[in-house]
Amino acid sequence: MNDIKFSGQELTAKKVIVLLLVAALVLALLFVRRPVETEILPEEVAQTEDYLYLSPYDSLFRECADSLYDWKLLAAIAYVESKFDTTSVSHRGAVGLMQIMPSTYKSMLRKMGLCDTTLVDSLHFSTEMNIKAAVFYMHSLNDRFSFINEEERLNYVLGSYNGGSNHIFDAMRIARKRGVNRYNWNSLSTVLSRMNEEEFYTDSVCKFGEFDATETLHYVNKVQRKYHEYVSKDLLYRATNRLIENQKIE
């Protein structure tokens, strides 16, 4: 069989076609289910050339992120919590981008050594402090669940962020009593889903009473899905940029 050879022009054309196909995939991912954007600032828009654009607050997420919590995870939480609406106030009184309760905010400020009347009021108008308090709170929750392996721990942190760690620990105590694996979120979910049943919330090991975990279980799934979506978009975005840069070099 004769070897098939391509001319230089044919190879270049094939590279261009591949680049165009990858670029089309990136654009499709960016515009499918893209959240409503608010308060787009010029300096934030200017940064979109350097990395994948997820929200008008990407620069703040990146600033507040650390080795434990990726900026894309913070963006995913903000999307699920408020759809990036900094003026959002829930029926429970949670405020802003990350939907922080005022009582939690005051507690985090004290632990951060930043407690004063000015900062307490800042929850309602400082997006930066809203995110910083949320990240600090997540770190405190991570410490409470340090005995859970890393792969599972984020589920417990997210569940506690939404429903409160006391209820999660109640479910873990009941799970242990009933022989259910309390260190696995999927297993624990079977107990959490029944925490509003009298048989469960009147159990002697349940210290914080009845709890309807429906919202919390959905919340953990939604944040995890959104986070993985953002990670996939970012990987594809970076891969496309590398292809384009390689093409320029050649």
What are the pLDDT digits (tens) for 51-69? 689 999 999 999 999 999 9
Q: Which domain holds residue 38?
A: 8-144+213-249
2 pLDDT more than 60 = no
Same domain, 73 and 26: yes
179 and 59 share one domain: no
Is residue 19 located within the same domain as residue 86?
yes
> Residue 197: its pLDDT value, please?
98
Phi, psi of 95 (to 5 degrees): -120, 140
User: Given pLDDT bands bounded at 50, 70 and 90, which one contains residue 12?
Assistant: low
Is there a domain that residue 51 lies in?
yes
Q: Quick check: helix, strand or coil at residue 242?
A: helix
**Both 24 and 106 in a single domain?**
yes
Q: By mean pLDDT, which of 30-34, 191-195, 231-235 is the weakest?
A: 30-34
Helix (H, G, I), strand (E, B) or coil at 232: helix
Residue-level pLDDT at 24? 58
Asked whether residue 117 falls in the same domain as residue 225, the answer is: yes
In angstroms, the CA 108 to CA 123 distance is: 11
Dist. CA 226–CA 244, nearest whole Å: 27
Task: Pick the more confident residue, 121 or 169.
Answer: 169
Q: Please check whether residue 2 lies inside any domain of the structure.
A: no
Q: Which residue has the higher pLDDT, 14 or 109?
A: 109
For residue 138, tell me if it sits in a domain: yes
220 pLDDT higher than 70 = yes
Helical spans, DSSP H, in the chain: 8-31, 42-45, 58-64, 71-82, 102-111, 117-122, 127-144, 150-163, 165-177, 185-192, 198-201, 214-249
| Shared domain check, 223 and 200 | no
Please tell me whether residues 75 and 134 are part of one structural domain.
yes
SS3 for 78? Answer: helix
Mean pLDDT of 187-202: 98
pLDDT higher than threshold 50 for residue 16: no
Q: What is the pLDDT of residue 210?
A: 98
CATH number of residue 56's parent domain = 1.10.530
Whether the predicted pLDDT of 10 surpasses 60: no
> If pLDDT is split at 50, 70 and 90, which confidence band does 239 have?
confident
Mean model confidence pLDDT for the chain:
83
Give the angle subtended at the CA of 94 by the CAs of 194 and 171, to the nearest 5°.
Answer: 20
28 and 90 in a single domain? The answer is yes
Instruction: Convert the pLDDT of each residue in 89-145 to its tens digit.
Output: 999 899 999 999 998 988 888 888 876 666 667 767 789 999 999 999 999 999 999
Q: What's the full length of the chain, in residues?
A: 250
Count of domains forming the chain: 2
